A and B are shown apart, each in its own frame.
Chain A
Amino acid sequence: MIVRPYEAHIALRFLLKGRGQTVLLLAGIAVGVAVQFFLSSLIGGLQASLIESTVGSSPHVFVLPPDSVPTSVLAGEGAAVDSRRAPLLEGREILSWQAYVDFLKKAPGVTAVSPSASGQGFIERGGSATSVAVKGILPEEGAVVYRLDRNLREGRIELSGDAAVIGQTVAEKLRLAPGDRFFLRNNKGTGDFFIVTGIADLGSDQANALVFLALDRARSFLGLNGVSAVEVKVRDVFQAEALAASFRREFSRVKFESWQERNAELLTALRSQSGSSGVIQFFVLFAISLGIASVLGIAAVQKSRQLGILKAMGVDNRGAANIFLIQGLTLGLAGSLIGIGLGYGLGLAFLRFFGTGAFGLLLNAANLITPAVLAVLGSALASLIPARRAARLSPIEVIRNG
């Protein structure tokens, strides 16, 4: 659309002179954009915090022994399973884990790889035994996977010899503090003493029931020859499933499981939440566009006389249409800018007065720009109706009928 100076001159004057209408339209667009911006920021923030609490402090892809999930006894095409395809020794643990670790460390998109040895344990204290989940990790890589540096609440991260970093639930239940010794029994009945070096809060009760030990110490404690899993942290959590799929094509003797597979319900919930907020946002935009279309439509009727005389003076059909398109675009742009400011303020106020600290607003460019762009497009589309009317108007009709 090439705008000629007079089109903008007349369009802006029409807007300025129809102040009441202009203010109402701007308010409508601004409120619409603000609501969209606020809603998408809020839902984005909520989803980000849900995902963060789900996978922020846990592995994104698990490399598991093939047997740790039930498999079909049929090896495809109706043949019975071939005993050679499921090596007996690797049934419940991964023996050749070092090779996987080396490969995965080099894979693009992977930020940390840690082998882990997991199993059940019981801490005996004060005459009672409490069940805990024992997890042996490599101190450095494991600390990255479980974000121990960020999640540490007390003590320090030290995993060597008899040192143990315990989850907050374990610490609270058994009243353990850094420096305390405790007796950990394995499921074969034997056990050993460990010393608490740090207490970490991993976000969920399940994760906070963990007792982290050094990998080798955990393997001997649990009686494992290999490891129970290789745990992988990736840069973009939503790429985890795609990465897992690519790993599956490389290796057939182990099983790759992404966090998405483990949290399918959460993902479904997030998707339906996004979907419903999308529907709400669509209808907000639709309502705004209808408002603009009807107000500008009325304006086009009210301005028939002016348009007729402008056309008599030489404004062509395109010029007459552009006068309304410019009004629509100007309203959309100005309304969006006000709306973004309003939405931002609304978000900050919401966080200030109702913020629980559980989640924040996701104030990113997409949330900011999308409603603004949609509002501008909506306004432009809405102004097409009066623009067409203006283009079709014959000056002679106006002059003849007064």
Chain B
Amino acid sequence: MADIIAVKNLFKSFGDVVRTEVLRDITASFERGALTAIIGPSGSGKTTLLNILSLLESPTSGTLTIDGRDFSTGDVNAASGFRNAHIGFIFQFHYLLPEFTALENILIPHWIARGRPPAALVEKAESLMKAIGIHHIRNKHLNQISGGEQQRTAIARALVNEPRLVFADEPTGNLDRETGFAVLEVMTRMVRELGTTLIMVTHDREIALRADRILELVDGRVCKAFLVREKGEAGARALLEDRGCAMD
């Protein structure tokens, strides 16, 4: 399969007086339709990389190509248009709008892109909710539903427009382990059914092992990058345990 995202010699630093280099010379590509897990210790730059890949932040230098389009310059409005049309987000904190019900939250990306959602889309959203087991909370507001339900609502919202790309930053980070795995299960199933590309940041190796490909960052550099099925589960687990860096 072809790559949907390619980054080359990507650098990102913060601060004017004291410059902190967060990403150093990252070159990587992400396969269309695959599930990639970005892992690494805290401060390794994984969230920053995700934010750059999802056009929320622009790189300091280097090139970023998504679906053949060059996004290295950081044009805010082009980025927001592309995000709305082609990208879905799932964050650690669900970031649902408390003013809207669960179903309305799921329909917001469509409101932004094309205005009032047609009946067919509302139906689609409802069937998506059924598929991930949150149909019963469709008319409830945030404060009336559980954390797992909120995160599943956020997943439905990310997927309703059938985006080409879904970015997830610690999507199960603030859920208990059992709920977390259930949510993850729902998310990976939906992504595979829809053929969407999913790029997910996690610090949890168990979760990472469910991905097709793992990219490990250490100190802002790519430390390891490998396909899980090529290494086998035991091999992949051993690679993750290894503190040294190895490229495939």
Q: Which residues of A are interface residues toward B (Cβ below 8 A)?
A: 4-6, 9-10, 13-14, 16-17, 305-306, 308-317, 319, 395-396, 399-400, 402
Contact = CB atoms under 8 A, between A and B. Distances in A.
B182 interface: no
A311 B80 contact: yes
List of 3 A-B pairs having minimum Cβ-Cβ separation, nearest first: A314-B84, A5-B115, A6-B111
Contacts of A306: 97-99
Given A13-B100, A309-B95, A316 B80 contact: yes
B85 A396 contact: no
Contacts of A317: 76-77, 80
Contacts of B95: 305, 308-309, 312, 399
A313 B84 contact: yes
Interface in B60-96: 76-77, 80-81, 83-85, 87, 89, 91, 93, 95-96
A379 B215 CA distance: 51
A315 B112 contact: yes
Contact of A314 (B51, B93, B100, B109): B109
- Which of B96, B98, B111 has the most chain A CB atoms inside 10 A of its CB? B111
Contacts of A310: 97, 108, 112
Contact of B89 (A4, A14, A312): A312
A313 B100 contact: no
A314 B111 contact: no
B226 to A, nearest CB: 29
Interface of B: 47, 51, 56-57, 76-77, 80-81, 83-85, 87, 89, 91, 93, 95-100, 108-109, 111-113, 115-116, 169
Contact of A6 (B76, B81, B93, B112): B112
Contact of B115 (A6, A13, A308, A314): A6
A395 B76 CA distance: 11
Contact of B83 (A4, A305, A313, A400): A313
Given A312-B56, A313-B108, A314-B113, A399 B99 contact: no
Given A311-B80, A313-B108, 11 more contacts: A5-B116, A6-B115, A10-B97, A10-B111, A309-B95, A312-B56, A313-B84, A314-B83, A316-B80, A400-B47, A402-B93
Given A17-B99, A396-B57, A314 B91 contact: no
A4 B115 contact: yes
Contacts of B116: 5, 9
A399 B91 contact: yes
Contacts of B91: 309, 399
Given A5-B111, A13-B100, A319-B112, A399 B83 contact: no
Contacts of A9: 111, 116
Given A5-B116, A6-B115, A314 B99 contact: no
A317 B76 CA distance: 9
A309 B93 CA distance: 11
A316 B108 contact: no
Nearest to B111: A6
A250 B115 CA distance: 68
A316 B81 CA distance: 8
A9 to B, nearest CB: 6
Nearest to B115: A5
A313 B99 contact: no
A14 B104 CA distance: 13
Contacts of B113: 314
A314 B79 CA distance: 8
17 contacts: A6-B111, A9-B116, A10-B108, A13-B99, A14-B99, A16-B99, A306-B97, A308-B95, A309-B95, A309-B96, A312-B89, A313-B112, A314-B81, A314-B85, A314-B87, A395-B56, A396-B51
B86 to A, nearest CB: 9
